Amino acid sequence: MSEKKTVRFIISRQDTPDSAPYQEEFELDYRPNMNVISALMEIRRNPVNAKGEATTPIAWDMNCLEEVCGACSMVINGRPRQSCSALIDQLEQPVRLEPMRTFPIVRDLQVDRSRMFDSLKRVKAWIPIDGTYDLGPGPRMPEKKRQWAYELSKCMTCGVCLEACPNVNSKSNFIGPQSLSQVRLFNAHPTGELNKGERLETIMGDGGLANCGNSQNCVQSCPKGIPLTTSIAALNRDTTFQSFKNFFGSDQV
């Protein structure tokens, strides 16, 4: 090749959580098998923008680099996804990088995903096994059910489903699909089931399950292919029964 191949980036930047966002362009030499993170690392190594001006390195989150931790999610060419698995060869240029604005922005492409971890705490997304004495082994889980539950357990709290959801926004307090699907996961576990009613009661609270408007963008966008809308519909059924039990009474609490 006579001419050197380059990759162009248009990156949305923001210096502080409250300052106004602006765009900055970068041009990098093409290397085979580049991904968005390796490009961002390249800019960090030599922070010079497309005009040749020295600038600050771009801030972003990353951790596992193999699409299992969820930390490096950002909006790439208009779609939220993990930047570690976004290969430059498969992206249209210029590559546009933006933060997931559903979340509070810390700086540049870095967002604060705390609200999802708070939701997990609210719905008690764990199996309570602690006691003042040894509670002994829990009940066994059928293998078939374990395999089914494994699909739900793939959630990495990346935030893509919240970003894609039209009902998760500044005008609404909807907790989003991520934590709802975890309620289904932990309610399906033989020991987790002991707190089933409690979890259902929580998601029947304000900003909970009923705020879903069935746009089903979440299931289309989930990088892990988690059946989020099936989880929501299943929880709709569970909460229907729960509300009947609450009102008409039941011995199965």
Partner 1 sequence: MAGRQEFYWRRLHSLLGVIPVGLFLTQHLVVNNFATRGEESFNSAAHFMELLPFRYFLEIFIIFLPLLFHAIYGLYIAFTAKNNIGQYGYFRNWMFMLQRVSGVITLIFVAWHVWETRIAAAFGAAVNFQMMEAILSSPFMLWFYLIGVISTTFHFANGLWSFFVSWGITVTPRSQVISTYISIGVFIALSIVGVSAILAFV
By the criterion CB under 8 A, which residues form the site for partner 1?
Answer: 78-79, 164, 166-167, 169, 171-172, 204-211, 213-217, 220-221, 227, 229-230, 232-240, 243
- Looking only at Cα atoms, what is the longest distance across the chain? 79
C-alpha 83/C-alpha 144 separation (Å) is: 33
Given the complex with partner 1, which of 34 and 115 has the nearer CB atom? 115
Closest CA to 188 of 130, 129, 240, 141: 141
- What distance in Å separates the CA atoms of residue 56 and residue 110, rounded to the nearest whole number? 14
Q: Give the residue with the Cβ less far from partner 1, 27 or 193.
A: 193
* Cβ proximity to partner 1, 21 vs 205, nearer residue: 205
Specify the residue, 62 or 182, whose C-beta has the smaller distance to partner 1: 182
Task: Label the pairing between strands 73-76 and 79-82.
Answer: antiparallel
Residue 48 per-residue DSSP state:
B
**Which tokens in the block code for residue 195?**
């707190």
- Shortest Å, Cβ 240 to partner 1: 5
| Minimum CB–partner distance for residue 239 and partner 1 (Å) | 7
Give min distance, CB of 231 to partner 1, in A: 9
Count of Cβ atoms closer than 10 Å to residue 109 Cβ: 27
- For the CB of residue 169, give the shortest distance to partner 1 in the complex, in Å: 4
